[in-house]
Structure 1
Amino acid sequence: MNQAEGVPSPAPARTGEIAFDRRAPGLVGIVVKGFLLSLITFSIYRFWYITNLRRFFWSRTVVAGSPAEYLGTGKELFLGFLVALAILVPIYILLFVIGLLSPILATLAAPISFIGLFVLGQYALFRGRRYRASRTRWRGIRLGQDGSGFAYAGLASLWWLGTIVSLGLAFPFMRAALERYRIDHTLVGQSRMRSTATGRSILMPWMMFYIVALLPILASVLALLAASGFDVPTDLLIQDPASEKSKLIFNPDYADTPLVYYAGAVGIAASVSIPLALLLIPYYRARETRTFLNAAHLGAARLNSSLKARQFYFPYLVYMLALIGFILVLGIILALLVPLIATNGENAGIHAFVIVSTVLLYLGAILGTNVLYVRIVSVRLWHAVATTMQIENLPALEAVLASTRAPASGLNEGLADALDVGGALEIGF
């Protein structure tokens, strides 16, 4: 009540909470089953494994009291992958034949192939997101995505060209422009989402990453190129003749030239900047994710994220510690097998046992790292993004009407999978 005027004050708009069950019971079983069946089916089962993972994460994400649903199937992904292969294989064969028929075109085949597959990969990324959106439902309302995959691929390619020309400085503006295109073409029922993301909003975290992790390497490489007249000799690094292993050393013929010092500066810069880059990637990802979420809205309904960088660091720290412990256990088991080999060197049965044990340890190591990554990193990152988000003005979202739009084809993501640019899970919206 407004006491000065005697007029009731408007009630604050309701907010919607987003929850996710981090305990995730049953997830380990999904990962183990997916790994083993993918192994014995020569990776064919992975499409059903990806589908099971998505259903698990979607169903445990509760938005304003109602869980999300994932309606995709492994069969759709598999058939889409086969159709995509039927498109890509002739392209690869054509490029190979052109290279054989014309030596001049053979030198251009590699860059043409790279550029063509890169553009096609951007198209596949956009279409893959369309598939996932069309297979997502909440309270009976299906999500969707319109827009042109070709337009997105062209936009992404031009932005990547600008990013390369600007030596990475245009990267945050590229990310914001592509985010706006994706969100502005995202549909919730009959309503359209919008994004106000800008490059300036993530410029500072990117510049922090850029100055610490990328700039020293770029500066040292440019100095090396300038010292060599932008013609670095191909034999600057050669294999060490004193070593039987593939160990590279600086060519002694350039010992008294400035190239050795500049090349050494590149090595030093890389050895310092690459570890720093690995440390700063979670920081940048967290800041970008929070900024982009806060820029998304559906009419009067808006997302509000309070995601912190430490919530992206902690899962990776726990994962590294768990991985170290897991490797130590495998090392102890392997150390117990070594004396067995030494004392029974000519025993055929022992040899067979050791070979089988080694193969099982190798497969167990891969399975263990997969289980640890999904259970620790994927679950905690998903939980961090979901539970730090709120929906402001929830009634505006609840007023959205369902759409009769037909769902997208499974080919949309099949192409992304064939080009190896699709992912089982996407953290964020």
Structure 2
Amino acid sequence: MSQPPMTDTRSGMDRSGPITFDRTLKGLTGIAVRGFLLSLVTFGIYRFWYITELRRYFWNRTIVDGSPGEYTGTGKELFLGFLVAVAILIPVYVLIFIATISAPWLAAFGSVLSFLVLYVLGQFAIYRGRRYRASRTLWRGIRLGQDGSAITYALMAIGWSLLTLLTLGLAFPFMRASLERYRINHTLIGSSRMESTARGRSLLLPWLAFYVVVLLPIAAALIAFLVAADFTIPDDLFIPKEGGKPGETEFNSDYEGTPIATFGELFLTTLGITIPLGLLLIPFYRARETRLFMNAASLGPVRLSSTLKARQFYWPYLVYLLSVIGFVLILGLVIGGGGLLLQAQGMESGFHWALLFGMAFGYLGGALFFAVLYVRVITARLWAAVATTTVVENAGGLDAVLASSRRVGSGLNEGLADALDVGGALEVGF
């Protein structure tokens, strides 16, 4: 008796599932223009609906293993969550103010105290905001989720931040990897839990490139300046400028040729060199970090595999920068050419009106142009770069993911992040 042919039960499991994104961006410009204008006339209130519309647009056009994502959040949820968060934050600000008045010795540390309190709340809000977005995200009808403790996450962020300060920034990649592991390890897709194996040592070399070129020279120049000044900056280092406007100051010439002036100039020169270099290195580090975090994420046997390159992060920023430069040059030529024409015709008053109109048009038109450009060039291209360079390995394992009946989070989860300005409309990456 012949045996029936054996079927390869692993063939479906071993297949790779592509992630695609619609690069045509049809309709995105209209969303950005409408969002900007309505946010302007509503004094920022419409931005909650604008954020929601952007998320729905990007989620729906991201296809994972043949199925699009779905975002079910609403602008109303974000707006009400923001109002509740503001109502919670006002007493916090009042308590800080009362504390600095009641205890005179705290007055000198009022700004530091405010920063520390808001930093802790900010980290708490970042985690809760991600929980809200996860609970409003579906794929194949399966809802995502996030458990874990926002308080634990905030305490971890505080501890790692202190260690980063004590190590003069060397612990930064380890902090990023640790916080990423906590976020992913508490991310749920239906009833299945994700896992991350991200490690800081894998980020150490790209971070050291940034550290050696940017942070180390700044720290060295600052320490040299403080040593030259005996760790005390003279009160009369800058004096009121003679004949200047109220509050306008100038460098005190009595300190010319002193170590304070020499090392102060060295520090400013160092900033002028390293800051542009730092801006050039940030996309490189972000691309390496994003690729590492994507490759470290898994869902049981299902894994993500990213081939993201740094140049795919550089290109959007370069296009954006060149577009901004081009817009400024064209606007300057239009205003300048119109002004020269009016002056040549002896219309001095017309020149002033043209100048005012040009400035107003340039401000509003430029703000609209940059808002649309940022969404189309920076956000969309970075999103597409991450999505299209990632594939789902062992994608057949996704068929075993079951839906969950967990309760969805409230809009307050992200309202606090928005009130503290630590939330983002879109996050590139998982």
TM-score category of the 2 structures, normalised to the smaller one = over 0.9
* Comparing 248-257 and 32-41, the one that deviates more: 248-257
Indicate the residue corresponding to 2:266 in structure 1: 265
Displacement of 1:107 in angstroms is: 2.2
Q: Which residue of 1 aligns with 2:153?
A: 152
Q: What SS does the corresponding residue of 1:308 show, helix, strand or coil?
A: coil
Shift of 1:246: 7.8
Distance 1:7 1:125 in 2: 47
Give 1:217's aligned amino acid: I
Provide the residue aligned with 1:299 in structure 2: 300
- Could you say which residue in structure 2 is the equivalent of 1:140? 141
Aligned to 2:25: 24
Structure 2 alignment gaps of length 5 or more: 1-5
Q: Deviations over 1:223-248 (max 9, x none)?
A: 11222232233443446547669876
Alignment of 1:349-368 (within 5 A): 355-368=356-369
Inter-partner Cα distance in structure 2 for 1:34 and 1:10 = 47
Aligned pair 1:345/2:358, yes or no? no
| 2:316/2:382 contact within 8 Å kept | yes
For residue 14 of structure 2, give the secondary structure of its aligned residue in structure 1: coil
SS of the residue aligned with 1:302? Answer: strand
CA distance 1:333–1:203, change in 2 (3 Å): same
Cross-structure match for 2:183 = 182
Deviation of 1:99 after TM superposition, in Å, equals 3.2
Contact 1:122 1:152 in 2 (8 A): yes
Shift of the 8–428 alpha-carbon distance from structure 1 to 2, 3 Å rule, reads closer
Deviation at 1:300, TM superposition (A): 0.5
C-alpha distance in 2, partners of 1:130/1:301? 22
Deviation at 1:253, TM superposition (A): 2.3
Q: Which residue of 2 aligns with 1:3?
A: none
Superposed displacement of residue 354, structure 1: 5.3
Aligned residue for 1:424, secondary structure, equals: coil
Question: Residues 99 and 345 of structure 1: is their aligned pair in 2 closer, same or farther, counting only changes over 3 Å?
Answer: farther
Q: Mark the CA change 1:247 to 1:285 in structure 2 (over 3 Å): closer, same or farther.
A: farther
**Aligned residue for 1:390?**
391
Work out the CA distance in 2 between the residues paired with 1:104 and 1:67: 57
Q: Is the 8 A contact 1:194 1:297 kept in 2?
A: yes
2:282 corresponds to 1:281: yes
Tell me how far apart the structure 2 counterparts of residues 143 and 150 of structure 1 sit (CA, whole Å): 21
- Judge which range, 290-299 or 91-100, deviates more: 91-100
SS of residue in 1 equivalent to 2:262: helix
The offset of 1:327, in angstroms, is 1.5
Check whether the contact 2:335–2:354 (CA below 8 A) recurs between aligned residues. no
TM superposition score normalised by structure 1: 0.93
Identity of aligned residues (%): 58
Distance 1:162 1:392 in 2: 36
Aligned residues: 422
Equivalent residues in 2 for 1:307-346, closer than 5 Å: 307-339=308-340, 342=343, 343-346=346-349
Counterpart-to-counterpart distance in 2, 1:8 and 1:26: 44
Distance in 2, Cα, partners of 1:365 & 1:246: 31
Counterpart code for 2:112? P
> Take 1:241 and 1:382, find their aligned partners in 2: how far apart are those partners?
53
- Inter-CA distance 245–386: structure 2 relative to 1 (3 Å threshold): farther
What amino acid maps onto 1:345 in structure 2? E
The question of 1:215 aligning with 2:216 is answered yes
- In structure 1, distance between residues paired with 2:259 and 2:285: 36
- Residue 386 (structure 2) pairs with residue 404 (structure 1): no
- State the match for 2:36 in structure 1: 35
Deviation of the 1:8 alpha carbon = 8.1
Larger CA deviation: 370-379 vs 356-365: 356-365
Tell me if the contact between 1:47 and 1:77 (Cα under 8 Å) persists in the aligned partners: yes
Aligned residue in 1 for 2:3: none
Tell me which residue corresponds to 1:76.
77
**Contact conserved, 1:302 with 1:393, CA < 8 A, in 2?**
yes
Aligned to 2:231: 230
Question: Residues 349-389 of structure 1, C-alpha deviation per residue, up to 9 Å, x if partnerless?
Answer: x8666544532321000010111111111111111000000
Aligned 8 A contact 2:73 2:136 in 1: yes
How far did residue 328 of structure 1 move? Answer: 1.9
**Deviation by residue 1:373-428 (Cα, 9 ceiling, x = unmatched):** 11111111111000000111011122110110111110011000000111111011
Contact persistence 1:35–1:367 (CA under 8 A): yes
Distance change >3 Å, CA 389–CA 325, structure 1 → 2: same
Residue type of the alignment partner of 1:33 = R
8 Å contact kept, 2:295–2:303: yes
Q: CA RMSD in A?
A: 2.2
Structure 1 portions without partners, runs of 5+: 1-5
Moved more, 212-221 or 97-106: 97-106
Q: Which residue of 2 aligns with 1:103?
A: 104
Whole-angstrom CA distance in 2 between matches of 1:7 and 1:49: 50
Distance change (3 Å), C-alpha of 1:346 and 1:249 = closer
Residue identity opposite 1:174 in structure 2: M
Question: How far apart, CA to CA, are the structure 2 residues paired with 1:327 and 1:423?
Answer: 27
Structure 1 residues 365 and 174, CA, compared in 2 at 3 Å: closer, same or farther? same
**Larger CA deviation: 68-77 vs 259-268:** 259-268
Alpha-carbon separation, structure 1, partners of 2:240 and 2:218: 23
Alpha-carbon offset, residue 322 of structure 1: 1.5
Residue identity opposite 1:73 in structure 2 = T
Q: CA deviation at 1:98?
A: 3.3
Give the deviation of 1:214 after TM superposition: 1.1
Distance in structure 1 (CA, Å) of the matches to 2:219 and 2:246: 30
1:63 to 1:7, Cα distance in 2 relative to 1, 3 A:
closer
Contact 1:341 1:354 in 2 (8 A): no
**Larger deviation, residues 30-39 vs 258-267:** 258-267
Alpha carbons 1:250, 1:260 under 8 Å: kept: no
The one-letter amino acid paired with 1:255 is: E
Question: What is the TM-score of this pair, normalised by structure 2?
Answer: 0.93
Question: Residues 246-273 of structure 1, C-alpha deviation per residue, up to 9 Å, x if partnerless?
Answer: 8765432222421122112211211111
Letter in 2 for 1:405: R
CA contact (8 A) 2:339 2:354 kept: no
Indicate conservation of the 8 Å contact 2:335/2:355, yes or no.
Answer: no
